[in-house]
Structure 1
């Protein structure tokens, strides 16, 4: 999947002026681009490690670290925001010679995918939105906890508590690994600069106007965990109502980590959707 012994680090390309770390797998005729969420210490590998091998059987898969996250550069003075991340993603497609890609966006990544589809509809094949932002909603206590993370083991444990429905997934070992990931040089400094309080304004800043979402022509598949405490499942019902050619799957006994808590179901449904005519 990657070219280094550290699986989070793959290859790099200049994307709209930002040196971007990305993972690459598969050699299919069609391209899938995976856009991760905004949890503290997140990387594309942490989000998509269980999804990439399954999709790579049929598609050429790319999974970049958005600027401010993971192992992409954090240029001094950069202004973090939806357009910055959307332009970075399109810039990566340009750098890699990708004319069009299916976009799979998780949470914050769903908001980025929606913005790209609205601004550059010809660059997008199909859309998959998982636990997606992109519309206005009253910020949840869970999202407040995620975006308000302060670097400590205890704070990471509280963040993980709202991500997953299954208590088996939330343990001290995982919390320690994710905490150590969040305190690598530059990680927490960038993260704390992105969504300072009051945080409702950043929910609005990640939204695409409803009239633009209604105009999307793309076939869209929406996935949400019924017990999601970070992004309310009502978001996905709203998106399904706005997008004319959208289908929705709601997973029971599942929180914000559909691709981790219901990996087999997520991979099967997304793969079948992307392969369908």
Structure 2
């Protein structure tokens, strides 16, 4: 971890709960999904049951190219403590985008905020991964009354340094750029589905060979399903552009400027082997959050909630326990 993180003990002291958690079984299928219209927006969501006396809800927001199924195992780990709702953002998973949706980060954040407000359950535990982390930061900064605490897994904070060298296949980022993207996507789509699945796993996981066959088969099915959705590729391409544009806004509107305004307990989780959002941004992200702490996981890639769900769950419960004790 960087020197700056070492000089800020609150950033590095992340408690791991001793609470009993169910074993992680990656053969468990995704939680059932359904379309819901809440707060004036219609999303496909996957709900996780929780205790009858739970006083709040966890809301999970996936990253670029992801879906609600990215939270299957973490939501299962936390189901004994809190009910959960994993969202398919507009244009992703099974959520058809509304006409005229512009796929900017503010537009996605507005959808999430409207959905949370419509739930009527008070402030929620908000989880976000990658682009979903950037969206969650914006929601927490603009709508603090909706968020009880945050868990940010490799949030896509602004980073304008060249990053193609971190990608094993340079065609992947090119696939979602204007003009050249259409040609590249067609070339990639012509490849065998299993080849595409393994490329995705190598990109997102530090140890892709440890991902069980059941999860690889789920990923393959999602790829095939999305190919049948006319809006899927345009949504992915335009959300990619929207994310990059969010990094180019004036400093007054940058996520780096908004982050210090978030005064809720926040756990920042990053994998040392993240190929998509460099772990070098982790200490700065946690340090800028007034109540932020950082957990850096070795041998972990871009989706720690999928690769290390038990560890992320224990850190999350540790945060909740310390918040309840007034020590976070």
TM class by shorter chain equals 0.7 to 0.9
Cα distance per residue 1:171-206 (max 9 Å; x no partner): 995563453243131322322333259x8435446x
Q: How does 1:46-125 map to 2 (within 5 A)?
A: 47-125=70-148
Residues 32 and 208 (structure 1 numbering): CA distance in 2 closer, same or farther, change over 3 Å?
Answer: farther
**Of 175, 179, 184, which residue of structure 1 is paired with 2:223?**
179
Distance apart, 1:248 and its partner CA: 0.5
**SS of the residue 1:105 aligns to:** strand
What residue number does 2:202 align with? 161
Q: How far apart, in 2, do the equivalents of 1:54 and 1:204 lie?
A: 37
Residues 139 and 21 (structure 1 numbering): CA distance in 2 closer, same or farther, change over 3 Å?
Answer: farther
If asked which structure has higher relative contact order (CA below 8 Å, sep 6+), I would say: 2
Residues 179 and 70 (structure 1 numbering): CA distance in 2 closer, same or farther, change over 3 Å?
Answer: closer
Cα distance per residue 1:225-258 (max 9 Å; x no partner): 0010000002221111211211101111111121
**SS of the residue 1:13 aligns to:** strand
Larger radius of gyration: 2
**SS of the residue 2:209 aligns to:** coil
Q: How far apart, in 2, do the equivalents of 1:251 and 1:184 lie?
A: 36
| Residue-pair matches, total | 267
Cα distance per residue 1:75-106 (max 9 Å; x no partner): 23211111111111111122221321111111
The list of structure 1 runs, each at least 4 consecutive aligned residues, that deviate by more than 6 angstroms after superposition, is: none
Normalised to the residue count of structure 1, the TM-score between the two structures is: 0.85
**SS of the residue 2:223 aligns to:** helix
Moved more, 15-24 or 160-169: 15-24
What runs of 5+ residues in structure 2 fail to find an aligned partner?
A: 1-28, 177-184
Say whether residues 1:190 and 2:213 are aligned partners. no
2:77–2:309 contact (8 Å) kept in structure 1? no
1:146–1:159 contact (8 Å) kept in structure 2? no
**Of 67, 70, 73, which residue of structure 2 is paired with 1:43?**
67
**SS of the residue 1:228 aligns to:** coil
**Of 309, 314, 317, which residue of structure 2 is paired with 1:263?**
309
What residue number does 2:7 align with? none
What residue number does 1:244 align with? 290
2:93–2:226 contact (8 Å) kept in structure 1? no
What runs of 5+ residues in structure 1 fail to find an aligned partner?
A: 1-5
2:38–2:119 contact (8 Å) kept in structure 1? no
